Amino acid sequence: GQQLNQSPQSMFIQEGEDVSMNCTSSSIFNTWLWYKQDPGEGPVLLIALYKAGELTSNGRLTAQFGITRKDSFLNISASIPSDVGIYFCAGQRGGSQGNLIFGKGTKLSVKP
């Protein structure tokens, strides 16, 4: 089936560091979304992107919809401890009535 390749799979952050993660696909998507999931909870929408090239911010988070429509990235600036969790990208193809394809997630943990 359709796949989104999300990287890195996991990373460790130190408070104050900037964080980057990305998502790529072999197919074109019309919409890219980024979600965060805390342990034991459902995913929460962070940012939605609807146009190729679009750059959108939500506080310390910035996400971009790639020009080729086959990729997206998420940046977190000046990370804080509550940023830990699993971040998922999700894409939607045209005509799929809102159905989303999810990446496998990037797990953010605090550096020991």
Partner 1 sequence: NAGVTQTPKFQVLKTGQSMTLQCAQDMNHEYMSWYRQDPGMGLRLIHYSVGAGITDQGEVPNGYNVSRSTTEDFPLRLLSAAPSQTSVYFCASSIAGTSAYEQYFGPGTRLTVT
Binding region for partner 1 (CB under 8 A): 1-2, 4, 6, 31, 33, 35, 40-45, 48, 50, 88, 90, 92, 97-105
Nearest distance from residue 110's CB to partner 1, in Å? 20
CB of residue 50 to partner 1, shortest distance in Å: 7
- Tell me the C-alpha to C-alpha distance, in Å, between residue 44 and each of 34, 36, 69: 9, 5, 23
Length of the chain in residues, anyone? 112
Which lies closer to partner 1 via its Cβ, residue 35 or residue 76? 35
Q: How many CB atoms lie within 10 A of CB 23?
A: 28
Residue 16, token pair as written in the block: 């104050």
Q: Which is nearer to partner 1, 16 or 41 (CB)?
A: 41
Nearer to partner 1, 44 or 55 (CB): 44
